[in-house]
Structure 1
């Protein structure tokens, strides 16, 4: 069975289009998953920071030299 070059080219392009569409969908899905994870982590860290500030455990500048204490 002999196929024409035009038929083979069209078939190859149609397969490429399906692959590209699947790849695009996967890329978007992956991006949204990471975005959701980042949002959850951001909210969790923000909540923890608020809790630490509320209980006086949060240091605004952790790299600053330690404050002199009386003890």
Structure 2
């Protein structure tokens, strides 16, 4: 890699099929984000919300942080 060659790491199998371990990206709509923030204000835990929406707890924190700054 240091000699100018490209990395041999592949993100797909030899057949061009994506790796089964690749994480699926979840994007919440504005409505879902507002609902998440309201549920948090009503007392729901961040970890609980992360599981319910299928997102990482850090993403929950970021959504809540953005809602507080507005």
| Band of TM-score, shorter chain | under 0.3
Higher RCO, 1 or 2 (CA under 8 Å, sep at least 6)?
2
TM-score (norm 1): 0.25
TM-score (norm 2): 0.26
Structure number with greater Rg is 1
Richer in helix (by share): 1
